[in-house]
Every structure is written in structure tokens, then in C-alpha cells.
Amino acid sequence: MHEVSLAHAVWRQVTAEMEKHPGRRLMGVHVAVGALSGAAPELLEFALGLLVAESQWPQADIDVRDEPVLLVCRGCGHEYPMDEMRLRCPACGSADIEPVRGTELRLESLEVE
């Protein structure tokens, strides 16, 4: 369950950012998890919830959202969502495609008071 180590990495980012704003209250943590990131969003949310509960900001809400995959054709530049496993560009038929979104796990934003 590598989501625990991922949650710790995200939490280190959160605490580093909050240290820049002493006296502020953390109210929410927003994380995006790409469908091809290899992380299970529900497990990450659970692990982050445990870290928040033991922190100085136990009132903070955790929001982990799935980020869909967006592919681009390197041949024609067409971008399209990966709604199914297409191995060819729907515009030109090229097999030279790559993901441009949906492979990462990132801390999107923090809500603070």
C-alpha cells in the first residue's frame, strides 16, 4: 500500500506551506490523482485523513479527486480523453500517442482561514 508513503509526501508539502503562514487554520486539502498515476484515490484519502486527524489541523477536510487521462497524438496534435484504451488517434489513425494529463498525483490547493 504505497498510498501511505504518498500521503506522507503530500502532507509534507501541506505542512511546509502552512509553516509559511503561521497562525492560519487549515480548512481543506485538495489533491488530484491521475487515473494512470498508480495510486488508489480512496486509499490516499484514507491515509491523508489519518494524518490530518493527528495534526494541529484536525478540522481540515480532505478532497481527493480523480483526474481523467488526456491523450495527445504526436502526429497531428489532436487531444482526446482516454475513455477507452485506444491505441490509435481517432483523428488521423496514428499510434504515436502519449498522455498529457492523468499520470500525476498533485496537491492542487489548500483552504486556509
For 33-57, the pLDDT digits (tens) are: 999 999 999 999 999 999 999 999 9
Residue 108: all three cell numbers together: 492542487
The parts of the chain modelled with pLDDT lower than 50 are none
Contacts of 26 (CB under 8 A, 6+ apart): 14, 18, 55, 57, 59, 60, 110, 111, 112
* pLDDT for residue 54: 97
The Cβ of residue 89 has, within 10 Å, a number of other Cβ atoms equal to 21
The Cβ of residue 1 has, within 10 Å, a number of other Cβ atoms equal to 11
CA–CA dist 95, 81 (Å, integer): 15
* pLDDT for residue 85: 72
Class of domain 3-112: alpha beta
* pLDDT for residue 1: 59
CA–CA dist 93, 105 (Å, integer): 30
Strand partners, 109: 30
